[in-house]
């Protein structure tokens, strides 16, 4: 998880591809809003919280998320939402790619087939009510797909996060309106499985 593990003060990483690179599956306007506005806001809010709570500045993003339950109650929710918002989005953008990649054999084996894996992710993503993510995760050597609300992060529940699938409406509404299933089908065409494989 080192790649997503920054320290305060957090800075906005550039997208690892051009804004137009994922078209027609994900349009550049969505990426501009999602990366430049939504992620940037989570990041600014995270820095603001840590600025006001200097005793927490020594913790990395992963440490904050793993230990979220031990954070003092008055900042816990803000930190959960914004540290989560930063981690989840950096990982989400990082795991998309204009290059078609093979699903790692380990995952194909664990879920039975590539189709079964994608079907499972889609089912969990469609079943996520309101705002949240479907997460491909690993715990004690076992792979699973779980649904988490808002910007909650698998690290806070003892899982290793492998792939976040953002199903907040801001992730797809400009291009797909209410058609979450179409967004998911197209998102599956631009998953950077090569990067996913680095954490499995
Ligand atoms: Mn999002």
Tens digits of per-residue pLDDT, 80-131?
999 999 999 999 999 999 998 899 999 999 999 999 999 999 999 999 999 9
The mean per-residue pLDDT over the stretch 144-161 comes to 98
Give distance in angstroms: CA of 30 to centre of ligand 1.
10
Give distance in angstroms: CA of 106 to centre of ligand 1.
28
Q: How does pLDDT run across 49-62, given as a tens digit for each residue?
A: 999 999 999 999 99
- The DSSP element (H or E) to which 124 belongs, if any, is helix 114-126
Give distance in angstroms: CA of 140 to centre of ligand 1.
28
Q: How does pLDDT run across 158-177, given as a tens digit for each residue?
A: 999 999 999 999 999 999 99
Give distance in angstroms: CA of 171 to centre of ligand 1.
5
Mean pLDDT over the full length of the chain: 96
C-alpha span between 176 and 63 (Å, rounded): 35
> Is the pLDDT at 1 greater than 90, yes or no?
no
Give distance in angstroms: CA of 146 to centre of ligand 1.
17
Sheet holding 142-149, edge to edge: 142-149, 132-139, 160-166
Tokens of 77: 């929710």
Give distance in angstroms: CA of 26 to centre of ligand 1.
13
> Is the pLDDT at 3 greater than 80, yes or no?
no
């Amino acid at each position: 998880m080192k790649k997503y593990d920054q320290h305060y003060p957090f800075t906005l990483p550039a997208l690892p591809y051009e804004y137009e690179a994922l078209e027609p599956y994900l349009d550049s306007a969505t990426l501009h809003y999602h990366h430049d506005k939504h992620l940037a806001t989570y990041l600014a809010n995270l820095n603001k919280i840590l600025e006001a709570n200097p005793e927490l500045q020594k913790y990395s993003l992963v440490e904050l998320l793993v230990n979220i339950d031990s954070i003092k109650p008055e900042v816990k929710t803000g930190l959960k939402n914004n540290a989560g918002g930063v981690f989840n989005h950096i990982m989400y953008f990082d795991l998309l790619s204009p290059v078609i990649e093979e699903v790692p054999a380990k995952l194909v084996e664990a879920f039975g087939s590539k189709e079964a894996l994608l079907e499972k992710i889609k089912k969990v993503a469609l079943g996520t009510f309101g705002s949240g993510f479907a997460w491909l995760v690993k715990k004690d050597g076992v792979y699973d797909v779980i649904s988490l609300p808002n910007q909650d992060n698998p690290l806070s529940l003892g899982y290793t996060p492998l792939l976040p699938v953002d199903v907040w409406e801001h992730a797809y509404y400009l291009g797909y309106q209410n058609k979450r299933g179409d967004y998911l089908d197209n998102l599956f065409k631009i998953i950077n499985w090569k990067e996913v494989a680095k954490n499995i």
